[in-house]
Amino acid sequence: MSDVDVDSRALEILQRVFGYESFRGDQHAIVDHVIAGGDALVLMPTGGGKSLCYQVPALARPGTGIVVSPLIALMQDQVDALTELGVRAEFLNSTQDWKVAREVEQAFLAGDLDLLYVAPERLLTDRCLNMLSDGRISLFAIDEAHCVSQWGHDFRPEYLGLSMLHERWPDVPRIALTATATAETRVEIAQRLSLDHAEHFVASFDRPNIRYRIVEKNDVRRQLIELIRTEHAGEAGVVYCLSRSRVEDTAEFLCSQGVNALHYHAGLSPAVRAQNQSRFLREDGIVMVATIAFGMGIDKPDVRFVAHIDLPKSVEGYYQETGRAGRDGLPATAWLAYGLQDVVQQRRMIDESPGDDAYRRRLGQQLDAMLGLCETVTCRRVRLLEYFGQHTGPCGNCDVCLDPPEAWDGTVAAQKVLSAVYRLWKERGQRYGAGHIIDILRGKSNERIKQSSHDQLSVFGIGADLSDQAWRGVLRQLLAQRLLAVDHDGFGTLMLTEDSRAVLKGERQLMLRRESEKAARSTRVGTRSRADAIVLPGEAQTRFEALRTWRGEVARSHGVPAYVIFHDATLREIALAEPASLDDLAHISGVGARKLEAYGEDILREVARGA
């Protein structure tokens, strides 16, 4: 097939099956490369259209596309979405009984499948490998390829065995895809999957529709409920917590405040996890409170916010999790509340983690990068993209751009803190946590201070000029910059580091971050209304709501999430365009031939009724 034939075939499939007029960004180059038989490593942000990069080539090449995915719970939804498009898709995983699995295998062997989704542990069994050898394979797509990285936040050991695909099927093109990888992780993915000669396609990591906001933690449950009530009432969102108990407590709290919240963590039974995940995907306006066990591969397009009430362990994890917001391209919020105790806790967890010094050093570097993002006084988007090796100017849409924090000379304040820690250890042989250090600096004569005679220290009361909260900000930043360390005693007590000396001796000036008064008073930043960005004008909004109601009824009758029928973005375009014929409707993005045939008349009827 010539280059011209490849190009026209790919575009024809995109338009006829998926209903899109043209490819976006690198999609066209990737699709053409894979159709021609080349291997590819694709880095594309969540919502950037990664799936089309293997789905279109699988339909263009002879045989069945084998998609390796770690997401057993989501395979059904992915297959349902393709089936709605008229694509012959199935999956093989442990949820099926042997009769169903055998039917799927026979369909593959008969050449009756366009795409087959397989979990990696299933793929690597002798039965599955032998079956694949007896059929015709168009390509291998390795989704969530960052799972092969042993330094990554989603490492899956079974992914290490996927390098054998190249050895067993050297002539079948392979495409590895992920939304999150630094240059170092990219090299690791290529090495571990034997993609030595693959072409790398790296799209921009920028998600301009997401507003990144990081606030100082101060009664985080109140801050969270304020965020939901004032900006995202009745909308879908995800709240990430560090521990299972915190997940359950937070979900219970949100429910008590009238929020439709569910919880998700690895300690729940598979049935409960599957049920809660299914409700989140299929119902509108649910807030999922979860550990990082939830979310990879979630295709729900209308998640309007992702909130973290505990500090993520790495920038990669943070980016991956916040990327689940706003997949439809509409405005969304990535909100993080973090404070002094988060830093203490994360440092202690690293010190106590199993593994050698190199492993703990790597965890420390990841945390340092995350803290740098939190404490930056420049654009958060600039800092985030720089971590992934990309450079851009200030976004004008993050909290730092909209309400810049102050940078102040905190050298003297830092010296006071470090002197207090030094005096306690040098004169008393004692170490204490942040709260006690702040009480000493502020000159509080409470019972604990009196019993320990710490009111006799020369540093007692020398920090009365700053509030408790201000001192917590100073301590947090000293920990973030490794000018203070957490002792290994398990109590979160503080000690000096090698770098402390230069500050104490006045050899190093220390510029610290201080929130603006506006940011300190509220979780909210900026004045642009969410409703102004999403609500349609006049009668178009009425048509949109009518279309959503119709879509919900169809989705329920088919037993699939509503977005599998049509995305909100497509319904909005229909509501605005007000098509009067099937030909008009065919030009709407997201309306392919199969959906036009199945739903065209119904949509036109709803549009006419709305008018």
Q: Are residues 215 and 146 in the same domain?
A: no
Q: Are residues 195 and 51 in the same domain?
A: yes
SS3 334: strand
- What span, in angstroms and rounded, lies between the C-alpha atoms of 201 and 189? 13
Q: What is the pLDDT of residue 429?
A: 78
Q: What is the pLDDT of residue 3?
A: 56
CATH number where 385 lies: 3.40.50.300
Q: Give me the residues of the chain with pLDDT under 50, please.
A: 523-532
């505990």: which residue's tokens? 310
Question: pLDDT tens across 73-93, in order?
Answer: 778 888 999 999 999 999 998
Q: Which helix (H) or strand (E) holds 371?
A: helix 357-375
- What span, in angstroms and rounded, lies between the C-alpha atoms of 40 and 32? 11
Paired tokens of 145: 């390829």
Paired tokens of 518: 């506006």
Q: What is the pLDDT of residue 526?
A: 42
Q: What is the pLDDT of residue 516?
A: 59
Question: pLDDT tens across 252-265, in order?
Answer: 999 999 999 999 99
Number of domains comprising the chain? 4
Q: Are residues 454 and 603 in the same domain?
A: no
- pTM score, two decimals? 0.84
- What span, in angstroms and rounded, lies between the C-alpha atoms of 30 and 152? 25
Q: Are residues 273 and 190 in the same domain?
A: no
Q: Are residues 602 and 508 in the same domain?
A: no
Q: Are residues 414 and 378 in the same domain?
A: no
Q: Are residues 463 and 588 in the same domain?
A: no
Paired tokens of 296: 């990879």
SS3 110: coil
List of residues 6+ apart from 214 with CB closer than 8 A: 335, 336, 337, 338, 373, 374, 380, 399
- Cα dist from 7 to 31, 357, 545, whole Å: 9, 51, 38
**Residues 309, 241: contact at Cβ < 8 Å?**
yes
Looking at the domain assignment, is residue 521 inside a domain? no
- Name the residue range of residue 417's domain: 407-514
Q: What is the pLDDT of residue 528?
A: 42
**Residues 244, 431: contact at Cβ < 8 Å?**
no
Q: What is the pLDDT of residue 320?
A: 87
Q: Are residues 181 and 259 in the same domain?
A: no
Residue finishing a domain among 384, 405, 426: 405
Q: Are residues 411 and 396 in the same domain?
A: no
Looking at the domain assignment, is residue 529 inside a domain? no
Q: What is the pLDDT of residue 385?
A: 92
Q: What is the pLDDT of residue 524?
A: 46
